[in-house]
């Protein structure tokens, strides 16, 4: 295969991924628009069915209609299926079925999987998919069992379905639930619900690569406690360290800014304050569940939330956002420039120029999508700017947290958020590559270099 053909082939895989998500959204919207999908059997406007399908496939969590009151069991099952497909990825689900049916995974399928997970190698692709599927169902099953200890006593046998739904939604970082219209606010003081949800969110958001890396080094933890972290790959070190820093710093900041806020945690005891602050810090990592209404937070906490939502989780997982590793690489690069260093170094390893360039591109395109969607949404609805930014950041990073604005969106507002969620899920950089395909050309001679002033 020559280079030109290979490039065209690689581009077609990106197109396939974008198209597969689009087709899944349309198929889901058709199913959800059927009368059988709604609790009253009358159906809902197609725009709301399309919005719900998009937010489910894109594992965002913003909803224009009540999930628990609007949808029948059939409708909820469709939503859950869309969440699972969106969390794992359509290509992964299709590959899983092929593996189950003992069908051969050809080179094109392997390239699709590689692009879907943003992997750097084709080596062990089939084994990787098998481990992802097994690990996903194991963690989701564990989460469902833990939820049942609370939801069955609270809801009876219906608690089984609620537990399964919530577990898959939390692991996939979707943030959609069928408990009530106030998300998990009624369980703000329940440590089982808080810790189980946080466990599922972090497990899905940390990334599959980190899973296998941890399992590789954990058997030696007893004999080599101090060396276990050092034996992890650079990717895992960055993802774990950055996630820990963001969760810890977020918890501290929420605790400080909300400590005396009567609308949030002022009347909680110290353990409850820490628990609520920790959950808020975790759920902003593109999960979208809430134990405290977002509109009740102070402006300072809301700004922290916007930053944490934009960053999101880690690569090769179920989380959205620009990703922890991307931000860590950009921060380290900025620091190296300030120090006048020639290379970007993290954990005593030099970061490649390709990774640095991709990090800059990802954040630049994400900011562009965010700016345009915020500008457009501001022009079609009347709302406070922080509420609008909450909505657009939440959509861009596929988080799902809202300050009660989603349900009041008009038709144009819904269309803007639908497109923003789609771009946020498939990846701004992937969409930029598709748009730039027709402009790709060969250059044999380098253009002249000329100095410019920046900064």
Residue whose pair of structure tokens reads 């990703």 in the numeric block: 323
For residue 299, being part of any structural domain is answered with yes
Q: Is residue 119 part of a domain?
A: no
> In whole angstroms, what is the distance from residue 284 CA to residue 119 CA?
25
H helices of 259-313, in order, are 270-283, 299-311
Residues 6+ apart with CB under 8 A from 274: 251, 255
pLDDT at residue 246 in the model = 96
Cβ atoms of 207 and 128 closer than 8 Å: no
Q: Give me the pLDDT at residue 294, please.
A: 93
Residue 453 CA to residue 403 CA, distance in Å, equals 42
DSSP state of 315: S
Task: Pick the more confident residue, 120 or 411.
Answer: 411
**Residue 138 domain flag:** yes
Q: In this structure, what are the phi and psi dihedrals at residue 208, rounded to the nearest 5 degrees?
A: -65, -35
- Residue 443 covered by a domain: no
Is residue 384 within 8 A of residue 370, CB to CB? The reply is: no
Domain that holds residue 268: 3-113+124-436
373, 310 in Cβ contact below 8 A? no
Instruction: Kindly report the length of the chain.
Output: 455
User: Which pLDDT value is given to residue 114?
Assistant: 64
Residue 452 domain-assigned? no
- Asked whether residue 345 carries a pLDDT value surpassing 50, the answer given is yes
Q: What is the pLDDT of residue 221?
A: 64
Question: Is the model more confident about 98 or about 256?
Answer: 256
In the chain, the number of structural domains is 1
Are 333 and 344 contacting, i.e. CB atoms less than 8 angstroms apart?
yes
pLDDT band at 263 (very low <50, low <70, confident <90, very high): very high
For 412-454, what is each residue's pLDDT tens digit?
999 999 999 998 888 765 655 555 555 544 555 667 877 776 6
pLDDT value of residue 5: 44
**442 found inside a domain:** no
Instruction: Note whether residue 441 is domain-resident.
Output: no
Is residue 89 domain-resident? yes
DSSP output for 115-169: HHHT-S--TTHHHHHHHHHHHHHHHHHHHHHHHHHHHHHHHTTHHHHHHHHHHHH
62-81: per-residue pLDDT in tens?
999 999 999 999 999 999 99
Contacts of 339 (CB under 8 A, 6+ apart): none
Residue in 288, 283, 292, 291 with CA at minimum distance from that of residue 263: 292
Distance (Å, whole) CA 314 – CA 117: 12
């Amino acid at each position: 295969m020559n280079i030109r053909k290979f490039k065209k082939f690689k581009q077609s895989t990106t197109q396939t991924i974008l198209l597969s998500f689009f087709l899944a959204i349309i198929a889901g919207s058709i199913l959800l628009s059927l009368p059988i999908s709604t609790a009253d059997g009358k159906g809902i406007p197609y725009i709301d069915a399309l919005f719900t399908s998009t937010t489910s496939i894109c594992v965002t969590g913003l909803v224009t209609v009540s999930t628990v009151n609007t949808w029948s069991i059939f409708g909820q099952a469709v939503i859950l299926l869309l969440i699972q497909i969106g969390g794992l990825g359509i290509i992964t689900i299709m590959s899983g079925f092929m593996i189950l049916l003992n069908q051969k995974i050809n080179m094109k399928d392997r390239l699709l999987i590689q692009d879907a997970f943003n992997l750097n190698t084709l080596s062990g692709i089939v084994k990787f998919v098998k481990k992802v599927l097994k690990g996903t169902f194991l963690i989701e099953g564990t989460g469902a069992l833990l939820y049942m200890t609370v939801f069955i006593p609270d809801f009876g046998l219906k608690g089984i379905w609620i537990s399964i739904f919530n577990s898959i939604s939390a692991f996939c970082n979707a943030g959609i639930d069928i408990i009530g219209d106030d998300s998990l606010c009624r369980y703000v003081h329940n440590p089982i619900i808080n810790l189980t949800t946080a466990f599922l969110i972090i497990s899905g958001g940390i990334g599959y690569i980190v899973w296998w890396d941890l399992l590789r080094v954990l058997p030696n933890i007893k004999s080599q406690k101090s060396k276990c972290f050092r034996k992890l790959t650079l990717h895992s070190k960055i993802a774990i360290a950055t996630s820990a820093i963001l969760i810890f710093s977020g918890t501290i900041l929420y605790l400080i800014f909300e400590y005396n806020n009567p609308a949030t945690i002022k009347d909680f005891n110290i353990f409850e304050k820490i628990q609520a602050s920790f959950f808020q810090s975790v759920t902003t990592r593109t999960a979208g569940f809430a134990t405290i209404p977002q509109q009740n937070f102070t402006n300072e906490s809301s700004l922290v939330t916007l930053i944490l939502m934009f960053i999101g989780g880690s690569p090769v997982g179920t989380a959205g956002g620009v990703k922890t590793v991307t931000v860590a690489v950009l921060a380290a690069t900025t620091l190296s420039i300030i120090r006048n260093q020639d290379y970007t170094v993290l954990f005593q390893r030099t970061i490649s120029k390709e990774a640095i360039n991709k990090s800059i591109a990802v954040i630049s395109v994400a900011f562009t999508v965010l700016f345009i969607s915020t500008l457009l949404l501001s022009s079609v609805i009347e709302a406070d700017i922080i509420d609008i930014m909450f909505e657009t950041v939440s959509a861009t990073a596929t988080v799902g947290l809202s300050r009660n604005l989603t349900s009041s969106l008009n038709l144009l507002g819904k269309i803007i958020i639908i497109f923003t969620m789609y771009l946020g899920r498939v990846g701004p950089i992937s969409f930029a590559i598709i748009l730039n395909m027709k402009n790709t050309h060969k250059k044999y001679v380098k253009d002249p270099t000329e100095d410019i002033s920046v900064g």
